[in-house]
Structures are given as structure tokens and as C-alpha cells.
Amino acid sequence: MARVGLYPGSFDPITVGHIDIIQRALTIVDHLVVAIGKSATKSPLFKLEERLAMIEEEIGPMAAARSVRLDVTSFDSLLVDAARQHDARIIIRGLRTAADFEYEAQMTAMNRTMAPEIETVFLPASPEVGFVSSTLVRQIAGMGGSVEKFVPTSVLNKIIALK
């Protein structure tokens, strides 16, 4: 039976921090679903279709090199329902800080109560990218700062094109 993992996030934009977690997730699953959660309260920098394409472009070759099936999708439901929809038995979450752990531990307990068949796996961010967040990237870019160290080159080019 294939080990299916679901890695959720906004990925607006996908950062080197996301890629760090995804590269390691590709070593523990046979099939990775990268799922963009739709939010009614956030106004994204990139449209959903653009984010889907950026993830596919960046992660597709990595997944293929490891013979891991990759699906890039979106969801607007409970995370456990999205996991069930894709037959994922593993939810992958990246942790940057202790505050992330506090929040994620609470969410994991709620998810486990609703879906005991689904496990959550925490992957701590590598030290060199543990401070990177999509929110900070958007803020820095929005104020004219350079984000080249925080996003892949193809994403950087798309951010520059928005100006």
C-alpha cells in the first residue's frame, strides 16, 4: 500500500522553506499531495492557478527524481476531509518555531479526534530556512525589498513581474 502524504499550506508564494519540507517529505512518502488551502479572509499575492503552477514547476522534477507521485491541488474544506479525499494517511506539517509547535499540536489533537486514521508528522525546518515565511516574503516584496534568498528564481521572476 502506497504511503500518501498531504502537505497543506497557502504557498503564496512557495518559498525555500516550503521546498525544504517538501524535499524531506519526498523521502517518507510514495505519493505526495501538495494542497493549497483556500482562504476567504486572505487576499493572495498570486492567484490560485499561478500558485498551483509554481508548485508543480518547482516540485515536479524533485518528485520525479525520487519516483514519488506528485499531485498539486487545492481545498476549501477541513484538512482531514481533504486528506481523506486523497487517501492520505499522513499530514505533513513544517515547524519553524516553538510557537508553530504549540499551534500545530492543538490542530493535530483536533484532527486526530475527527480522523484517528490520519497521522500528523512534524518536520522541523532546517536552520538555514527556518525563519522564512510566505507572509514575510510578501511584506518584503511589497515594500520593494529583495526576496531572492527566500524564493526559487522562477518565483522571484514572477514577483518582479508583478511590479
Candidate list 24, 84, 86, 96, residue with the active-site label: 96
Candidate list 18, 51, 89, 93, residue with the active-site label: 18
Q: Is 51 a catalytic residue?
A: no
Candidate list 3, 38, 39, 42, residue with the active-site label: 42
Rg (CA), the chain: 15
Q: Is 96 a catalytic residue?
A: yes
Residues 6+ apart with CB under 8 A from 55: 11, 14, 34, 36, 72
The candidate with the shortest Cα–Cα distance to 147, out of 160, 137, 161, is: 137
SS3 34: strand
Q: Is 86 a catalytic residue?
A: no
CA atoms within 13 A on the CB side of 114: 14
Candidate list 10, 51, 93, 134, residue with the active-site label: 134
Distance of CA 111 to the CA centre of its chain: 18
- Please list, residue by residue across 8-45, b when 16 or more beta carbons sit within 10 angstroms of its beta carbon and e when fewer do: bbbbbbbbbbbbbbbebbbeebebbbbbbeeeeeeebb
Q: Is 18 a catalytic residue?
A: yes
Task: Please identify every residue annotated as catalytic.
Answer: 18, 42, 96, 134
